[in-house]
């Protein structure tokens, strides 16, 4: 359990000033955070029930090799070629 003294010590280490009227709220908040962390830490990660709660699964397909375009087809709409590649002119 976090005490007022713990909060003040943490604030001092963090170089923060804590007003006396904030001390009760900060102490309560820190205790709630630690309690939540303890709850999470206590959950078993070995159980399968948590693995897939939405019923989703990967939809993968096998890779299929398909024929591509020929060099002439690729270069057909190019403004300038050297027969086997695109020709790119430098900007002036």
Q: What is the pLDDT of residues 28-60, one digit of tens each?
A: 999 999 999 999 888 776 666 656 667 777 788
Query: Worst-scoring range by mean pLDDT, 9-18, 32-41, 47-56, 83-92?
Result: 47-56
What distance in Å separates the CA atoms of residue 50 and residue 73, rounded to the nearest whole number?
52
**Report field, pTM of the whole predicted structure over 0.85:** no
Residue 54: the pLDDT is: 74
CA–CA–CA angle 42, 46, 47 (5° rounding): 95
Question: At residue 86, what are phi and psi to the nearest 5 degrees?
Answer: -75, 145
Domains of the chain with CATH codes: 4-44 (1.10.20)
Q: Using alpha carbons, select from 78, 69, 2, 89 the residue that is nearest to residue 37.
A: 2
């Amino acid at each position: 359990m976090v005490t007022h003294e713990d909060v003040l010590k943490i604030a001092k280490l963090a170089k923060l000033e804590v007003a006396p009227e904030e001390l009760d709220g900060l102490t309560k908040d820190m205790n709630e955070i630690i309690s939540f962390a303890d709850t999470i830490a206590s959950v078993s990660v070995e159980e399968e029930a948590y693995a897939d709660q939405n019923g989703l699964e990967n939809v993968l397909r096998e890779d299929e090799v398909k024929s591509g375009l020929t060099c002439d087809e690729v270069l057909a709409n190019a403004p300038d070629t050297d027969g086997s590649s695109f020709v790119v002119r430098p900007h002036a």
